[in-house]
Every structure is written in structure tokens, then in C-alpha cells.
Amino acid sequence: MSRISLLVSLTAPAPRHVEDVVLALLQRLDPAEFRLALAAPPGLLDRAAGELHGVPVDTEAVLADSWLRHYDVGRLSAFIGRVRPHIVSTHVARATMVAAPLARWLGAKVVETYHGSGSSRRLRPHRMVARFVDRAIAVSEAARAHLVGAGYPTEKVVVIPNGCDLSTFRAGMGRDAVRRELGLARDIPVLGVLGPLEPRMGHAELFEAWPSIVTEFPLARLLVIGDGSLQRRLDARAHELGLAASILFVGHRTDLARVLDAVDVVTLPALSEGSPLPAVAAAAMGRPVVATAVDGMPEVIREARTGRLVPPADPAALSRAIRGMLRDTLGAQRMGRAARDFVADRFSLERQVASTIRVYRDVVGTPRQLPRAA
């Protein structure tokens, strides 16, 4: 029985959550069924060397996010030719633009995963690329609608939400310890905001909402979890508002579950968010979420059941929803429990991996029907 030869192409700079999705998938594919290869920039391969330790995967360092990168495009083409994959699985729009045509020209099937509206890809390239894609995985219904509206045939698109390893989120695993580490009292209200410190994530709007929250809850603290290009600007704004003492920048955390256990409410004020994994993580820890009703967010946060949804770029609405949740602690706890139950049924990593494997099998046929890979 031949194995499915799968080459994952992530040859453009990608958000950390996309890298996380790709590495988690590679870790969980059975090497008895899949022969794996990964084309990615050197930085991601350095990270993969640790996280994929013990996973048999052929790698190639490539930054091919444009046809103008002739050398890297040539390296990617040669790598595909050497691996002779049955499937090239692409992630990130600019990587797909290059990898999808190359893969088809070299005889491979193409499965694209579309991670949502954070992409800069426009409608015309969407239609051009769609011709080379055999199946597109959309990470939300909102992402599916975007692809179909951009010219992808409906029958090519399947929705598979990104998932989390829910077993890593356990109530009580770090609340008191993390609060001690951060100098936070046990009984004060703590709000957490997750995600890279980039304009589309809405941190600036949250900071404008924060003064009214602190006016009503003077002891409240805001944990800013993540890093990015806006950190200095946000830190300066916190000082301008005179609220720097109530805002803690804790950076990117590898112990996210422990940190989430230390907060009472999570807010996600993104202006766009195609793959709201932070909302899944917060819900998995049983924390209620106040989020903006953008892209795939309403598919994770159910209004008044598992959290609150507000319009994007509206600091006043954001403040009202957060203050309401901090006032009603018992109601917030009920929402948190409901959120945990909701994501357990729909957003597990195991479910995502199993669904993705079914797509791979369907695209190439059963292993007995496969052409022999090199």
C-alpha cells in the first residue's frame, strides 16, 4: 500500500497562528499513511526543528512569496520535482500564488487552506489561482463565503475550523501562580486581550475603551498577551492616558493556558479575524469573551450565550460590554462554562486533523489507487 506523499508549502511570512496550525497538523499525521515534506522560510524551519523532533519530514528553506523571487521559485520547483508529491498543501495567499501553479504543472494535486480575511489577496488573483486548486479548505463559514464570492466554485470549498488541543486547557492550572508572578491580587478583576500587536487586532480601540472601564473598576488590570509592531506605540498611549500601571504587557506566552487561567474575561477587539483561535483558546479555558462581530468570530462566540459581540472599531460599545460582564460575575461564569462546552464539540484539534485527512484522501483517492511517489 503506497503512502500519500504530502508537501506542505508555507513559503511566505505567516501569522504565528498559521504556523501553529501547520506544525500541529504535521505532528499528528501518521507516517505510516503520509510521507511528509515542508517548504518554508528558514525561520519557520528553525522552529519546526524543535517542534517536529522525531517526525520524519523532508524540508527545504524557501521564501517564495512572489514570482519575482526567481531563485526561490526555482528552488521550490526543484523541491516539488524531487519529492514528487501527490498533494501540495498550501497556506497563506502569497505562497499559494506561487506554489499552486507550480504544483499543477509538476503533476500534483493542490489543497489550499484559506485562513481568512487577513489575506491581502484581491479578487482577480483569487480567480486565477482557483483554476489550479483541487480543493480549498476554509477555516470558517465566513472564509468560505469569501472564497466563493471571489470566484472559487462552491463544490471545491469545504469548511474545516481550526482547532486547539483542548486537553491543555484545565481550570485551576495556573490562576494563583500566574497572578503571584505578575503581582496581581487574587480578588481583583483581570481582563486579557490575546493576539499579535498589529493594527488589525484592535488594541488601539481597546486602549481608548480602557479609561471608562477603570473608572468603574479602579482595581481592574489589563493583560496584553502577545507581541508585535505596535508595542511601543501602545505602551506610549497607556502612559498618555495615565493608566500604564493598570496595563501589563506580558509578551508572547508559550504557557498561554496558564495565563488564561489567571484572567476573568477575555476580549478580542479585532477589526478582522478569519481564524479566531484565540477565542477558541479562551472558551476552552472556560472564560467568557467580549469580541467584535467580524469574519469567523460569531461562529465561535454566540451572543449572550458564550460571550458578547460588539461592532468593530467602537470603543464605547466595547467598554459597555466589558463593564457589563465585570458587573455580572455569575453570569460571566455561566457564559464561560457554556463556551467551554460549545468549543469542545466543534473546535478540537483532533476533529480538525481528522477532517483534513479525509480531504487529502478524497483528493487523491484511496492509497491503493495512488501513483507511486519517488
pLDDT tens sequence across 201-242: 999 999 999 999 999 999 999 999 999 999 999 999 999 999
Half-sphere exposure of 187 (CA within 13 A, CB side): 0
For 247, left (φ over 0), alpha (ψ -120 to 50), or beta?
beta
- DSSP-assigned beta bridge partners for residue 247: 222
C-alpha cell of residue 278: 484565540
The Cα 284–Cα 128 span in angstroms is 38
Beta carbons within 8 Å of 203's beta carbon, 6+ residues apart: 193, 197, 224, 230, 234, 269
The Cα 87–Cα 244 span in angstroms is 50
Half-sphere exposure of 87 (CA within 13 A, CB side): 28
Q: What is the pLDDT of residue 34?
A: 97
Query: Rounded to the nearest 5°, which phi and psi values hold at 37?
Result: -145, 150
Q: Which residues of the chain have a pLDDT value below 70?
A: 1, 117-125, 366-374
Q: List domains and CATH numbers for the chain.
A: 4-163+349-369 (3.40.50.2000), 166-346 (3.40.50.2000)
Length of the chain: 374
| Share of residues in the chain with pLDDT > 90 (%) | 87
pTM: 0.91
Query: Rounded to the nearest 5°, which phi and psi values hold at 2?
Result: -75, 145
The Cα 234–Cα 76 span in angstroms is 39
Helices (H), the chain: 16-28, 42-51, 70-83, 93-105, 123-130, 141-149, 175-182, 203-216, 231-240, 256-261, 277-284, 315-327, 329-346, 349-364
The Cα 5–Cα 86 span in angstroms is 5
72-96 burial, b at 16+ Cβ within 10 Å, e below that, comes to: bbebbbebbeebbbbbbbbbbbbbb
The Cα 121–Cα 269 span in angstroms is 23
353-367 burial, b at 16+ Cβ within 10 Å, e below that, comes to: beebbebbeebbeee
Mean pLDDT computed over every residue of the chain: 93
Strand order in the sheet with 4-9: 57-61, 34-40, 4-9, 87-91, 109-114, 135-138, 157-159
Alpha-carbon distances of 132 from 52, 101, 126, 156, rounded to whole Å: 29, 6, 10, 11
Secondary structure of residue 292 in the 3-state scheme: strand
Q: What is the pLDDT of residue 366?
A: 59
Most distant CA pair in the chain: distance in Å?
67
Q: What is the pLDDT of residue 211?
A: 98
- Please give the radius of gyration of the chain, using alpha carbons only, rounded to the nearest integer: 22
